[in-house]
Amino acid sequence: MTPALRDFLVYLKVEAGLAASTLEAYESDLRQLLEDLASRGVDDCLRATPEILAAHLRGLHTERRLDVATITRHLATIRVFYRWLAGNHRIASNPARLLERPAPWRTLPGVMSPGEMKALLESPSPERSALWLRDRAMLELMYAAGLRAAEVGALRLDQFSRDLGMLIVTGKGNKQRLVPIGRPAEQWSEQYLADCRPYLTRFNDNRDRQRLLLSHTGRPLDRIAVWQIVRRNALAAGLEDVHPHKLRHSFATHLVRGGADLRVVQELLGHADIGTTQIYTHVDRAGLKAVIRKHHPRP
């Protein structure tokens, strides 16, 4: 690790307050850049030119066969890194300033139907798992609030307001948002807190006892554990290709299809840019026809 990369990662952690998973992605992308620069005879990232950076990005496609979304993430990492270097006078000019973003096909996120979501939420049972109440509460909260895997695992007891029926969610960049949840999520969470969580805290040695959702050892759920729980219950419900982010996509899409304002959905998801939320405006042709018939003066 070069001094520049080390200082940059410290900046992201301390000043930008990025999550550990985001820091890992930045470090991985930049380590790959440094390795590629070395293979091209550039032994210092401070000596990179626009041509060499562009060649690196092309190689991600032609040699490593990465998809456009992943290459775009690499580009964003490189832009932030070299903008930071220039802003801190480590380099005279920013070689990444003119790098162009690849034009991806806009792919729609995978979405579950309300029936599939119902099947998933109802899949935890005492016959399948001793922690079925924990699983049911977790799934209900993820769908009710559109939570990311890391967000649901990081929930604390004081971020769940039973009186208000709200969650205080800490998202990317440690930004907090207030998200209301419905009665089903409230009721299953309360049942989990009353009948399951006290048993789990016995294994904990007073560590991490403020986390809402706990593992069988009484420790907080990490992202991998959340993925495994979602996957296991999806298979039990007879559903394929289900992952935590699909619950988040379904939450947003079902709201938009139900008539929710896009700005409200943006706030609930914690998106900084409304453009990120606009992907959920996709509707089927039957829905479009129904809107025309209902609202146009001459359908």
287 pLDDT more than 70: no
In the set 74, 249, 254, 271, the catalytic residue is: 271
Give the pLDDT band of residue 104 (cuts 50, 70, 90): low
124 pLDDT more than 80: yes
The answer to whether 280 is a known catalytic residue is: yes
In the set 156, 172, 243, 257, the catalytic residue is: 172
In the set 148, 197, 246, 254, the catalytic residue is: 148
pLDDT digits over 195-229, tens only? 999 988 886 665 566 899 999 888 889 999 999 99
Average pLDDT over every residue of 115-121: 96
Give the pLDDT band of residue 284 (cuts 50, 70, 90): very low
The answer to whether 172 is a known catalytic residue is: yes
Which domains, ranges and CATH numbers included, belong to the chain? Answer: 3-87 (1.10.150), 114-287 (1.10.443.10)
pLDDT digits over 167-200, tens only? 999 988 888 999 999 999 999 999 999 999 998 8
153 pLDDT more than 50: yes
Classify burial at 53, counting beta carbons within 10 Å of its beta carbon; exposed 0-12, middle 13-18, buried 19 or more.
buried
The answer to whether 11 is a known catalytic residue is: no
Residue 107, pLDDT score: 58
Residue 179, pLDDT score: 93
CA distance 41 to 44: 9
Give the pLDDT band of residue 292 (cuts 50, 70, 90): confident
Residue corresponding to tokens 């490593």: 64
33 pLDDT more than 50: yes
Question: Which is more confidently placed, 285 or 6?
Answer: 6
Query: CA separation (Å) from 21 to 28, 32, 149, 155, 228?
Result: 11, 17, 11, 16, 17
Strands 160-161 and 176-180: unpaired
Please list, in sequence order, all residues whose beta carbon lies within 8 angstroms of the beta carbon of residue 142, skipping any fewer than 6 positions away.
Answer: 152, 230, 244, 247, 248, 251
- % of the chain surpassing 90 pLDDT: 60
In the set 156, 232, 245, 282, the catalytic residue is: 245
CA distance 55 to 50: 9
pLDDT digits over 229-278, tens only? 999 999 999 999 999 999 999 999 899 888 888 899 999 999 888 877 87
Question: Which is more confidently placed, 193 or 299?
Answer: 193
CA distance 149 to 143: 11
Asked whether 176 and 169 are in contact (CB, 8 A), the reply is yes
Residue 202, pLDDT score: 80
84 pLDDT more than 60: yes
The answer to whether 248 is a known catalytic residue is: yes
What tokens does 18 get? 């990025």
Tell me the pLDDT of the chain averaged across its residues.
88
In the set 134, 136, 248, 254, the catalytic residue is: 248
CA distance 150 to 21: 9
Nearest 5°: the CA angle 180, 181, 186 is 135
Query: Measured on CA atoms in the order 137, 142, 147, 153, is the torsion positive or negative?
Result: positive
